[in-house]
Amino acid sequence: MNPIQLKARLETLGPATQVEIVDLTGTEDHYQAQIVSPAFEGKMMIEQHRMVFKLVQAEVDSGEVHALTLKTYTPEQYIKAKSKH
């Protein structure tokens, strides 16, 4: 699964979902994804992560995606987090 495919897949979380993908090793199977989406509203971080992993369950199970570390935010959380740095 290449970065473009992964980005498109994660954008299916819903409208106004912003996804940034980093291929950590250049081998297209160790990714970090930063996702900002209204779909995360009112959800604990663990539930946000579960929503994301559900989208790539097949690729994770098959090992096509070996590692995926996540940074998830609602739009409001993202503004708050970025205002600190």
Contact residues toward other proteins (CB under 8 A) are 44-46, 49, 69, 71, 77, 80-81
C-alpha angle 59-50-20 in degrees, rounded to nearest 5: 70
Q: What are phi and psi for residue 31, nearest 5 degrees?
A: -120, 155
Token pair, residue 21, equals 């993908």
In the complex with other proteins, the residue whose CB is nearer, 8 or 67, is: 67
Instruction: Report the residue number, 25 or 69, with the smaller CB distance to other proteins.
Output: 69
Q: How far is the CB of 14 from other proteins (least distance, A)?
A: 21
The least distance separating other proteins from the CB of residue 34, rounded to whole angstroms, comes to 12
Q: Do 59 and 34 touch, CB atoms closer than 8 A? A: no
